[in-house]
Structure 1
Amino acid sequence: MLHLDIPTRNEFSRLADKRSDGAVSIYLKTTPVTENVPASRIELKNLIREAQTQLEEIDFDKRRLDALLDGLNDLLDDDEFWRFQANSLAIFATPDSIRTYRLANDLSSMVQVSDRFHLKPLFRAITFPHSAFILALSENAVRLVEMNADLPAEEIKVPAMPKDAASAAGKSTLNDRTFSGRIHGSEGQNVRLEQYVRKVDAALRPILAGRETPLVLAATGRLAELFKQFSSYNNVLGETISESPDRLTAAELVARARPVLDAAYAEQIAEIRALFERRTGERRTTTDISDAARAATFGAVQTLLVDIDSVTAGFIDDETGAVTFVDTDDAKAYGVVDQITARAFASGATVLGVRREDIPGGNELAAILRYPH
């Protein structure tokens, strides 16, 4: 099981609003395989040294720098922390605080130093978590399986999960009459399947509460329809594994779920690209960083695709959104597209962190606007 700490929307907003004389953002490739962790710790040590160099070059207060480095080195030396890792680690540190998030995505290692945190890569974790739950649901049994990139499938024990449909209804079979005699046969079976699905949903709620992880359903016939109808979880994917899960191992379920997950991501991107094309004819799109900065500052961005790997250094005016580009990405400048991302997100825009090949025209960003410009 991957140990994940994906930030919520509120946590992201707090990170985006944070300002400090020294804000260090570190993204580090890690591994859940404990014996391979030392390589990640060595790389982190190098990234900390790079952040220190940038701050020393601007004559950062020595006592504040020592406090910042103490926090980062304490993390580096925490053997217990390093026992439980995922595929990437995000670290946000100031002289006064430090926050970490373990992520399922394979992010590029990097360090950014400024007066604010560099958050754009986090949207990859939010947009495409590369992990999912699989609910294997049949009349005979129900299982919850967790899938993650590069790790074996793991079945999750769910307290209060019914054993099967009949026991959920307190019956030995689904085909007998109800006590009142009103419903029986196929009608009675349907009512009891509804009872079963409701109990499954209730058992899942404590596990899924607050999550945005996709849920892939493996079920057939009426059970598949009923679960989608009654599920209280908002991220059940539309496509299902439409064969009986009783005959499938956890590994086989994962093998069948991966194409479903990939198709859902591809469909999401394709829909946004198609919308971008339609809105272009209405003068409601831009791929220009300066135009996008002004739009984001005034809350005019509806949907934003950003390249998570690139950094264009500069500054954005808080009032006008005017961009000043700089040649040197030092401890004073910050990523302007990162700041556009934060402003768009704060105004309620849909933001997706993607690879550059997914962005129309292969640009650093592509924005769909709420009104023509």
Structure 2
Amino acid sequence: MAKNSGNNVRNETQWEELPGILTKDIFVELAGYEGDLCVSILMPTHKSGVEVNEQVDKSTFKNVVQQVEKKLAEKKKDPALTKSVLQPAYDLLTDEIFWRSLDNGLAVYIADGFFKYVKLAAPVIQLIHVNTSFYVSPLIPYMVRTEHFYLLDIAKKFPRFYRADGFGIERLQIEEMPFGVDDVVHFEEKDGDTLFRTGGKGGRGSANFHGIGGGKPEENENIAIYLQEVDNTIWQSHLNKENVPLLLAGQNFLIPIFKSVSRYKNIWPEALTGNHHQQSDNDLYEKAMKVIKPYFDQPLQNALKDYGNKLVTALTSSMIDTIIPATYYGKVSHLFVKKGLQAFGTFNKQDNKLVMQVQEGDLKQADDLIDKAVTKTIQNGGDVYFLDAEQMPNQSELAALFRY
């Protein structure tokens, strides 16, 4: 974190970078923050290329902050407060390292004594929001999810083992992992016969076997012995306490051999066939995510099915004026939102009074009620899904499944 100070206004607010994958606690903190002046800025940025060299993102951010300053002047905000709140944003423009180390998107949240930002892995639509709370629903795709899977890239030599989730992939270095067939199956002559000896790494013991017909065993037998050792290794290191998918990658003939010797019960039915050892981890991850997409879609499919089963009951609704109050009272377990949907107005929880309006600005302190509904659902332990229009249940713009 860097310490800021302006030329005209002294401001001790520190820049704080939040993790690119947000925990629910961090999200709830942002969503629950309230103040007289809360500024939310979202904008697409660049990781590399001519845009970085020409400082396009820096120029865009400067223009955005100037627009915020203009908005605050139109709202008749105290100029001294405006200057103090925005000074850290102007100071950020002097941090050359920051502007050369961005990702594909940026979210910045500013208030009096508060300045936090998130570098986002995917681009976002540029947005400026000035109100008494932050605009945080665009961050939901970047929240921690429990869904993850493992990937085993099988090869005769140097198998690769990974853990992956919706945000990326991590290669797991396991010291006991065998290097290849010859690391597990060894041959020796004894009394005129050829024997092969299996020797697991990490002190798991060994056994001697006579080769079939006095010769070396068939190649597939050797591979099976080797892959069984691979399976034992990843079982002991990771899989014995898991029940998530294991996606296999490798040449066609290796996949069924591994399946025949593996003790893991949740091997994904479809595999990445071919030789992938020349591919980078990121390329392998992109291919894996296409194959295993149904696994990540399952929570949504279950929620849509549940909504459909309860469609004719009081536990579902597609009426905005019913759903928004329900989110404030913790009634919503699943919220389905059409991408890009906005609805402005105010809701007074104490009076249970909802006031809708045609467009932003019709009311002095209007909120984006969709953003509020989303954040309230998350705060109260519900799930939110942003969907394309054709995916929305009941051809609605907003739909909810209620707890009661």
Name the TM tier (shorter chain).
0.7 to 0.9
- 1:185-217 CA distances to partner (integer Å, 9 max, x unpaired)? 899878744441046639xxxxxxxxxxx9965
Note the residue ranges of structure 2 that are not aligned, 5 or more in a row.
1-17, 187-195, 210-220, 240-244
Task: Name the structure where helix makes up a greater proportion of residues.
Answer: 1
1:110 alignment partner, one of 122, 127, 132? 127
Q: For residue 312 of structure 1, report the CA deviation from its aligned partner.
A: 1.7
Q: How does 1:214-293 map to 2 (within 5 A)?
A: 218=249, 220-221=255-256, 238=268, 241-243=271-273, 249-250=279-280, 253-254=284-285, 256-260=287-291, 262-264=293-295, 268-293=299-324
Q: Does structure 1 residue 294 correspond to structure 2 residue 302? A: no
Does the 8 Å CA contact 1:133/1:215 hold for their aligned counterparts? Answer: yes
Hey, what does 1:165 align to over in structure 2?
A: 178
- 1:341-372 CA distances to partner (integer Å, 9 max, x unpaired)? 1111111101123344432355442211113x
- Mapped partners of 1:215, 1:7: distance in 2: 25
Does the 8 Å CA contact 1:286/1:367 hold for their aligned counterparts? Answer: yes
The AA in structure 2 aligned to 1:196 is T
Higher gyration radius (CA) = 2
* SS state at 2:26 partner: helix
- Mapped partners of 1:47, 1:216: distance in 2: 44
Note the residue ranges of structure 1 that are not aligned, 5 or more in a row.
203-213, 231-236
- 1:107-135 CA distances to partner (integer Å, 9 max, x unpaired)? 2111111111111111233499xx99965
What is the RMSD of the two structures over their aligned residues, measured on CA atoms?
Answer: 4.3
Does the 8 Å CA contact 1:90/1:101 hold for their aligned counterparts? Answer: yes
Hey, what does 1:45 align to over in structure 2?
A: 62
Q: For residue 255 of structure 1, report the CA deviation from its aligned partner.
A: 5.5
The AA in structure 2 aligned to 1:243 is T
- Mapped partners of 2:130, 2:150: distance in 1: 36
Pair 1:269–1:102, CA change in 2 (3 A): same
- Mapped partners of 1:367, 1:82: distance in 2: 40
The AA in structure 2 aligned to 1:20 is G
Hey, what does 1:32 align to over in structure 2?
A: 47
TM, length-normalised to structure 2: 0.70
Does the 8 Å CA contact 2:42/2:108 hold for their aligned counterparts? Answer: yes
- 1:57-90 CA distances to partner (integer Å, 9 max, x unpaired)? 2221222211221121222332111212222111
The AA in structure 1 aligned to 2:137 is K
Does the 8 Å CA contact 1:86/1:102 hold for their aligned counterparts? Answer: yes
Hey, what does 1:20 align to over in structure 2?
A: 35
The AA in structure 1 aligned to 2:238 is D
Hey, what does 1:326 align to over in structure 2?
A: 357
Task: Name the structure where strand makes up a greater proportion of residues.
Answer: 2
* SS state at 1:63 partner: helix
* Higher RCO (C-alpha under 8 Å, 6+ residues apart): 1
Does the 8 Å CA contact 2:184/2:199 hold for their aligned counterparts? Answer: no
Q: How many residues in Structure 1 have an aligned counterpart in Structure 2? A: 346
Q: How does 1:1-373 map to 2 (within 5 A)?
A: 5-37=20-52, 38-126=55-143, 136-138=153-155, 140-143=157-160, 160-162=173-175, 164-165=177-178, 176=198, 192-198=229-235, 201=238, 218=249, 220-221=255-256, 238=268, 241-243=271-273, 249-250=279-280, 253-254=284-285, 256-260=287-291, 262-264=293-295, 268-319=299-350, 321-330=352-361, 332-371=365-404
Amino-acid identity (%): 18
Moved more, 316-325 or 286-295: 316-325
- Mapped partners of 1:78, 1:181: distance in 2: 58
- Mapped partners of 2:110, 2:236: distance in 1: 43
The AA in structure 2 aligned to 1:165 is P
Does the 8 Å CA contact 1:25/1:111 hold for their aligned counterparts? Answer: yes
